[in-house]
Amino acid sequence: MNVTTAAPTAPSAAAIDWDEAFCSEGANCFRFGLDDSGRAYIGSTLSPGEYVTDSVEALRALISAVKAGAADHLL
């Protein structure tokens, strides 16, 4: 999994097709996106140039693990 903060080799924000942001309580908003090569992205609306990127399969596994409670100890 890669964390990117506007690195020169990263796609520009315009190259990522972002979904509408998902906001929970307190306006904590996250968004999901895909680029033309099929890579998946998760980003915060508070820091548009920062995001996590990996393959769709890897981010699917991450989301499934979170839904299963693997990150509950962080709450």
Give the pLDDT score at 48.
84
Q: Which range has the top average pLDDT, 8-17, 21-30, 32-41?
A: 32-41
Q: How many CB atoms lie within 10 A of CB 10?
A: 17
3-state DSSP call for residue 12? coil
Q: What residues does each domain of the chain span?
A: 2-69
Distance CA(46)–CA(26), nearest Å, equals 12
pLDDT range class, residue 25, cuts 50, 70, 90: confident
Pairing of strands 50-55, 2-5: antiparallel
Give the pLDDT score at 8.
44
Task: Name, in order, each residue with C-beta under 8 angstroms of 17's C-beta and a sequence gap of 6 or more.
Answer: 33, 34, 35
Name the pTM for this structure.
0.72
> Mean pLDDT throughout 38-63?
92
Give the pLDDT score at 34.
96
